[in-house]
Chain A
Amino acid sequence: MPAKHDHHDHDHDLGGHDDHIAPAEAPPSAHEILERAISALLIEKGVIAEADIQRQINFMASRNPALGAKIVAKAWADPAFKKALVAEPRETLKAHFDIDIGTATELKVIENGPRDHHVVTCTLCSCYPRLILGPPPAWYKSFEYRSRVVAEPRAVLKEFGFEPPRSTAVHVHDSTADLRYLIIPRRPKGTDGWSEAKLAALVTRDSMIGTAEALEPAAA
């Protein structure tokens, strides 16, 4: 069966393999066969070791929205950190969280506010800040989300349970090339003096994509 071109060929973030694994009873896809052949060759020729692959899989599996939530909570609690994070995300994440963004892509950090609400998509594939949020949710990669959020963002946000007022400009960011986005959601009211750990519990994955707001204190 010929390989179906699935537009994932330029999803060059690390660790994009987890979502291509088919059930054990299905015959391997063309991509899996290719991946196995290349791994076997690289190992046989001594370029990498099996342990390197496992280490990288473990590293990517350790990335999840909890890491992003810690970053956002610190930004809420520490204005100087937030300023640095927005101005120089690469240096700031390295210094405070030992996160190495690498050289392939740039990270852009944007803060949501009452005047401007930002929401992120990737119409061409599923570009996503995996290093900070882990693998993207299935809906983020769906054709429906990608095609609709650019054309009718307010209708899509409403389906996620969030209706920005018309006095708020909605900014859709189509992550088409070398930028990845992290959204800092608005800090909920009634959280003055909260610790970073307590604040982090309010920061959901969706709020860092921009399809939702952070949780209200009562809901956490």
Chain B
Amino acid sequence: MDHSAKRRDFIKFLAASGALAGCAAVPETPKKPIGRVIVIGGGYGGATAAKYIRMWSPNIEVFMIDRGTEFVSCPLSNLVLGGSKKIEDLTVSYRGLRDHGVQVIRDEVTGIDLAKKKVKLTRIEDMPFDRVIVSPGVDIMFDQIPGLNNADAQKAILHAWKAGPDTVALRKQLEDMKDGGVYVLSIPKAPYRCPPGPYERACQVASYFKKAKPKSKVLILDANEDIVSKKGLFLKVWNEQYKGIIEYRNNAEVKDVDVKGMAAKLDFDTVRGDVLNILPPMKAGKIAESAGLITANNRWCGVDWLTMESVKAPGVHVLGDATLSAPLMPKSGHMANQHAKVAAAAVTALMNGQQPSREPMMVNTCYSFVNDKEVIHVASVHQYDVAEKTMKVVQGSGGVSAAPTELEGVYGLAWAQNIWNDMLA
């Protein structure tokens, strides 16, 4: 089948699947677009890149491919465990992207043919591209926790580090747990997705226990030497709000689990729990690996920070958690959104025959909910360092909250509404 015939079939498929419905307000793509970008992954990075490329250069055709039918946010998903939010509150339709002319496809990418510049999919035919944006998030390394390396074990012991049905299932496990039970949360060695996330999760579960099961405990097993993010603030909250509920152990790396005995195995110790929530080590999402984009520690993808282009594959841009982070740069949704904008600016410039910017900036803001209402933040501003060819924190910028406040709780929720709108509306 030749390319145009495939393309006709593909359009038919889109029309049949309803992907072309409601196109009235779509920015018009010229009859002959200057090229095609395929975005793999519809999370904080991918969705933002897709929208911004269309916004800044409507002469480029953009397809975004994701396994899911809608966006579910990891940030705020700990509040589902705490009980103050439902998963529906964190779920946003991809419809707004279609209004920008992004063609959203539900499918799974199985490979990228770099030589032929084609993306391989499970449901539809290979799709050619001029540039591809890979924003796959993280892959959970179950093989590092042998007892967890099968489907049954993964249903009994959840990570819930990708928001969705597992988040709801973990909440159910907490609800079903008897009062006086122990919830064990393990944290892998950094870098992992969302540095303050596990400590926020401990707060949220403790906040639920305090109200509903006051004899229960939260035990944190941290593989790291110390609390990775917002240390002083989390310690203060644990001491003032969750004394006797949260127990923290550092240098406590979980190496295996016993699913039947509901126990986490450390080097010299075995810890039993009523609910085990194990976060295995993480690496760049599977597609990054199969496309050969991983360049560091067998886990992360090195990028040129001026364009977010893979250091290994020209024309392939990698965003978000999958990248080999620059110094002090967190793997966060907010940061993925910033990566996406640098990539969108570079891709639209390059495809229109212009120079990409030499002066990219990236900001990070992470709000953590220490209970239903109070929030603490960490922020940083990163600029491109020409000599070292990486992003570095601007000296004197950034910092953390002075104390947990309800005012920042309001800002934290407003942050979510604004960033979801910025990527999806």
A and B interact? no
Interface of A with B (CB < 8 Å)?
A: none
Interface of B with A (CB < 8 Å)?
A: none
